[in-house]
Amino acid sequence: MKITVINGAEKKGVTYRMKELFLESLRDKAEITEFYLPRDCPSFCAGCTVCFMKDERECKDRAYTEKIEKSMLEADLLLFTSPVYVYHVTGAMKVMPDHFGYRWMPHRPAKEMFGKRAVIITQCLGGGDKSTAKDIKDSLNWWGISDVRILSFKLMSNIEWDRIPEKKRTEFTEKLHRAAENVLRTDFTKPAHTSIPTKIRFYVVRMMQTGLGKQNPNYKDFRYWKEMGWIDDKRPWKDV
């Protein structure tokens, strides 16, 4: 099993501890590749749209995004982590998915994503866990991933792990261990189930691409959809 971890911060704080607890029982059973943000994707998307209009390989940040994308495409499980910063993901965790806007379904989603599973770990002091998880989930869903599990935590006390009451730490640890056991029980030889919302997204975009292709058969995203066979009978969830 291959796991790719995208850490929304470099700090070894509470989020880091939670991620480590989740991975504890998976370490000797999985090949784990970790990226730490902003270190591994430090620059903002400049909005040049070269990825959308021309070629993602011409992105100024391709040296960073190529490594992340390759690892994500090869992984069986994607793990995203972020503490809540002002009700949302860390700035770094906003910057990284911005670079993969071209992988959103209305553009050129990777077929591999349709069979993947993902876990999101977020934690906050008291509020913003839902909006933070959604920040990440939006991208994962629009990349084509249906199977997204969210593990959200509210500290409601101190923001340093060692000062959080022991009862709460035990509760968090058990929840993370249970989630890891779930991963161990998963049959990764089979692709994840594709949900109805993912299929609806796909068919709405397919209709849009068909229209755009009629106006301009050379339109980049249409050509991609056509080459993938999705304008015809092929479906990404049957092809992973």
Ligand X SMILES: Cc1cc2nc3c(=O)[nH]c(=O)nc-3n(C[C@H](O)[C@H](O)[C@H](O)COP(=O)(O)O)c2cc1C
**Alpha-helical regions (H) of the chain:** 14-23, 50-53, 62-74, 91-98, 129-143, 166-185, 196-215, 220-227
E strands, 108-222, are 117-124, 147-154
Which residue in 7, 123, 141, 194 binds ligand X (CB under 6 A)? 123
E strands, the chain, are 2-7, 31-36, 77-83, 117-124, 147-154
Kindly report whether the peptide bond that precedes residue 38 is cis, defined as omega within 30 degrees of 0. Answer: yes
The answer to the question of residue 208 lying near ligand X (CB under 6 A) is no
The answer to the question of residue 159 lying near ligand X (CB under 6 A) is yes
Choices 8-16, 57-65, 143-151, 211-219; region in contact with ligand X by CB under 6 A: 8-16
Instruction: For the chain, count helices (H), then strands (E).
Output: 8, 5
- Residues between 57 and 116 with contacts to ligand X, criterion CB under 6 A: 83-87
The answer to the question of residue 14 lying near ligand X (CB under 6 A) is yes
Least distance in angstroms from the C-beta of 90 to ligand X: 8
Amino acid, res. 218 = N
The answer to the question of residue 134 lying near ligand X (CB under 6 A) is no
Which residue in 73, 125, 208, 212 binds ligand X (CB under 6 A)? 125
Least distance in angstroms from the C-beta of 26 to ligand X: 20
Residue number with CB closer to ligand X (53 or 156): 156
Least distance in angstroms from the C-beta of 80 to ligand X: 14
Choices 6-14, 99-107, 194-202, 217-225; region in contact with ligand X by CB under 6 A: 6-14
Residue 148 contacts residue 118 (beta carbons within 8 Å): yes
Residue 8 contacts residue 81 (beta carbons within 8 Å): yes
